[in-house]
Structure 1
Amino acid sequence: MKSYSIQEINEVLMGTIVGNTSIKITAPEQLELANASEITFIGNKKYEKLWKTSKASVAVVNEDISIEPGENKAFIKVKNADLAMSQVLEIFAPPSPLFEIDIHPTAFVDKTVVIGKGTRIGAGSYIGPKVKLGENVTIYPNVTILDECTIGSNSVIWSGAVIRERCHMGNGCIIHSNASIGADGFGFRPDPQKGLVKIPQIGNVVLGNNVEIGANSCVDRGKFSATILGDGCKIDNLIQIGHNSKLGQFCIMSGQSGLAGSVTLGNGVLIGGSASITDHVTIGDGAIIGGGSGVTKNVPAGVTLLGYPAIDARDALRQWAILKRLVNESKK
């Protein structure tokens, strides 16, 4: 079991220690559940009241905290406790699943595959013709990577993921279990003789550097060219990204949200859980789409929308307040 003194942890965080404790820290834990040997976090002043009953001996806190740690307890004050939390979690993170050998004998690797130094391929995986794998790529068991794909260095692909033909990933990407990259876009047209005719989807998917795709999410290939996700995009579990959509850098999509075909997101767009964006809509840089919202038209940069159909957040809140007041009055 890993254990660290508060001084050793602060060597990583480079914060300011207030108070003192001799208790060794063995794990991080949330404020309400932590015991004496665990470190916790207070990232918002509204949670300060919970410290009084917490059993934790150490908390990483923002610099503006207004309480004292107490006897045999200590705070590590930092500029941003939420960011510091990620550093603490790295300290205590258990090792990744082991590979006894770099390429498992049950994996099928086509003779034309180019494999970079330090790359590992797990049991039961399929790596198709003319695939190029960069250096230090980790492919866990039962992954499928089809013909002519490229996977950038230091990327990780978890079990069950499928990377369809001719798709390309940058460096440092993470694809979680059962994600689908490059499935056919949803394209059909009615035909009097044949019913619904499938429209061929001959494009691909291009992921930038440091893109993360959550479990059971789908990024469909383009009909003509590419579906593109820019550097640093983070996609939650259970997300649908339709064909020919284009995401700028550092976009975030929360669980069960979806983009229809040919949606364009600027840089730094945030989309809340269960939000839906109709086809051919453009959302400007830094815009925020609230959870459960439905976007049916273009969105300017920097605005926040709520509701279904989505409107300016301030207008949505006013409407909801009026409706609530009318309902309450009707009950009198």
Structure 2
Amino acid sequence: MKLFTIQEINEILKGEIIGVTNQKISGPEELQKASIHQITFIGSKKYLHLWEKSNASVAVVNDNLVVEPGENRALIKVKNADLAMAKILELFNPSPPHFDTEIHETAVIHKSAIIGSGCKIGANCYLGKDVILGDGVVLYPNVCIFDETKIGNNTVIWSGTVIRERCEIGSLCIFHTNVSIGADGFGYRPSEDGRGLIKIPHIGNVIIGNEVEIGANSAVDRAKFSSTIIGDGCKIDNLVQIAHNCVLGRSCIMAGSSGLAGSVTLGDGVIIGGSSSIKDHVTIHTGAVVGGGSGVMNDVAAGKTVVGYPAADARDMFKQWVLLRKMIKS
């Protein structure tokens, strides 16, 4: 078990200690659930009332909040408690699953595949023809990497993930369980006789930048031609669909159960709320925000926030909702 004094923790956070405690900290926990050997977090004044009854010995607190530590308890005041929490969670993060051997004997690896130094390949993994793994790549059991795919240094791919042929993956990426990269896009047209559907071939690929994280059971489809592109630093939640020929800029965020139809373009830093749907060929420009559950039918200007179904300017939509409530009450 890892144990740290408040002074050792504050060496990482660089905050201001208020109060005194001799308790050593064994881990983080919520205010209501914390024990005497745990550290907790207060990032908003609405949670301040919970500190008095909490059993935690230490709380990391936003420096604009007024709160007393109490007897044998202490506060670490920081500019942003959420960012401080990320550092503490990393401090107490358990070790990842253990590999007995660097390459498991049941892995199937084509003779033409190139494997960088320090790679770990788990049981029942498959690497196809001309696959290239950079240094330090980790493939947990039951990962499939198909022909001519390239993966950059120190990328981690969890079990059940399938990366189809000719994809290009950057360095320091994380793909969680059962991610699908490079499957066919969804494209059909009515047949000439009107009695069936004709499948449109998708012969492009997927290109993913550096430090991209993709959550469990999400899918990024390959392009009809050219590439579906995910920019550096994008963070994709669980159960997200990114269709063929979409292009995401740098550091975009897509929350769970959201989806992009074909050929959607996101600028840098776009945020897509959970369960939102974006129509095909729409462009959402840099810094725009789409509220959860929204349906975007048209382009969104840079820096704009839209909500609703169909989505509209947030301020206008909120005014409509207020008027609607007044009409219902009257």
TM-score by length of 2: 0.99
Q: Give the deviation of 1:325 after TM superposition.
A: 1.0
Q: What residue number does 2:198 align with?
A: 197
Greater displacement, 13-22 / 250-259: 13-22
Q: What residue number does 1:246 align with?
A: 247
Q: How far apart in 2 are the matches of 1:246 and 1:133?
A: 24
Q: What residue number does 2:187 align with?
A: 187
Q: How far apart in 1 are the matches of 2:205 and 2:31?
A: 45
Which consecutive unaligned segments of at least 5 residues does structure 2 have?
none
Q: Give the deviation of 1:192 after TM superposition.
A: 2.8
Q: Give the deviation of 1:105 after TM superposition.
A: 0.3
Alignment of 1:305-316 (within 5 A): 305-316=306-317
Q: What residue number does 2:218 align with?
A: 217
Q: What residue number does 1:156 align with?
A: 156
Which consecutive unaligned segments of at least 5 residues does structure 1 have?
none
Instruction: Show CA shifts across 1:213-241 (max 9, x none).
Output: 10000000000110000000000000000
Q: Give the deviation of 1:284 after TM superposition.
A: 0.6
Q: What letter corresponds to residue 250 of structure 1 in structure 2?
A: S
Q: How far apart in 1 are the matches of 2:186 and 2:130?
A: 27
TM-score by length of 1: 0.98
Q: How far apart in 2 are the matches of 1:224 and 1:282?
A: 19
Q: What residue number does 1:85 align with?
A: 85
Q: What SS does structure 2 have at the residue aligned with 1:60?
A: strand
Q: What SS does structure 1 have at the residue aligned with 2:41?
A: strand
Q: How far apart in 2 are the matches of 1:59 and 1:33?
A: 13
Q: Give the deviation of 1:45 after TM superposition.
A: 2.1
Q: What residue number does 1:301 align with?
A: 302
Task: Kindly tell me the number of residue pairs found equivalent between the two proteins.
Answer: 329
Q: How far apart in 1 are the matches of 2:119 and 2:47?
A: 44
Q: How far apart in 2 are the matches of 1:66 and 1:161?
A: 47
Q: What residue number does 1:72 align with?
A: 72
Q: What letter corresponds to residue 322 of structure 2 in structure 1?
A: A
Q: What residue number does 1:257 align with?
A: 258
Instruction: Show CA shifts across 1:112-144 (max 9, x none).
Output: 111111000000000111000000110000000
Q: What SS does structure 2 have at the residue aligned with 1:84?
A: helix
Instruction: Show CA shifts across 1:170-198 (max 9, x none).
Output: 00000010010001000111113461000
Instruction: Show CA shifts across 1:239-296 (max 9, x none).
Output: 0001000000000000000000000000000000000000000001000000000000
CA RMSD of aligned residues (A): 0.8
Q: What SS does structure 1 have at the residue aligned with 2:52?
A: helix
Q: How far apart in 2 are the matches of 1:207 and 1:134?
A: 15
Q: What letter corresponds to residue 120 of structure 2 in structure 1?
A: R
Q: How far apart in 2 are the matches of 1:223 and 1:210?
A: 25
Q: What residue number does 1:169 align with?
A: 169
Q: What residue number does 1:15 align with?
A: 15
Q: How far apart in 2 are the matches of 1:301 and 1:192?
A: 42
Q: What letter corresponds to residue 134 of structure 1 in structure 2?
A: G
Q: What residue number does 2:320 align with?
A: 319
Q: How far apart in 2 are the matches of 1:85 and 1:61?
A: 10
Q: How far apart in 2 are the matches of 1:250 and 1:129?
A: 32
Q: How far apart in 2 are the matches of 1:264 and 1:32?
A: 43
Q: How far apart in 1 are the matches of 2:45 and 2:248?
A: 34
Q: What residue number does 1:113 align with?
A: 113
Q: How far apart in 1 are the matches of 2:266 and 2:243?
A: 12
Q: What residue number does 1:63 align with?
A: 63
Question: Percent identity among equivalent residues?
Answer: 62
Q: What letter corresponds to residue 224 of structure 2 in structure 1?
A: K
Q: How far apart in 2 are the matches of 1:180 and 1:80?
A: 35
Q: What letter corresponds to residue 9 of structure 2 in structure 1?
A: I
Q: Give the deviation of 1:80 after TM superposition.
A: 1.1
Q: How far apart in 1 are the matches of 2:111 and 2:265?
A: 38
Do residues 133 (structure 1) and 133 (structure 2) align? yes
Q: Give the deviation of 1:32 after TM superposition.
A: 1.5
Q: How far apart in 2 are the matches of 1:323 and 1:130?
A: 60
Q: What residue number does 1:287 align with?
A: 288
Q: How far apart in 2 are the matches of 1:128 and 1:230?
A: 25
Q: How far apart in 1 are the matches of 2:288 and 2:164?
A: 31
Q: How far apart in 2 are the matches of 1:205 and 1:106?
A: 28
Q: Give the deviation of 1:43 after TM superposition.
A: 1.3
Q: What SS does structure 2 have at the residue aligned with 1:53?
A: coil
Q: How far apart in 2 are the matches of 1:61 and 1:155?
A: 34
Q: How far apart in 1 are the matches of 2:15 and 2:135?
A: 35
Q: What residue number does 2:208 align with?
A: 207
Greater displacement, 96-105 / 2-11: 2-11
Q: What letter corresponds to residue 128 of structure 1 in structure 2?
A: G
Q: How far apart in 1 are the matches of 2:34 and 2:158?
A: 31
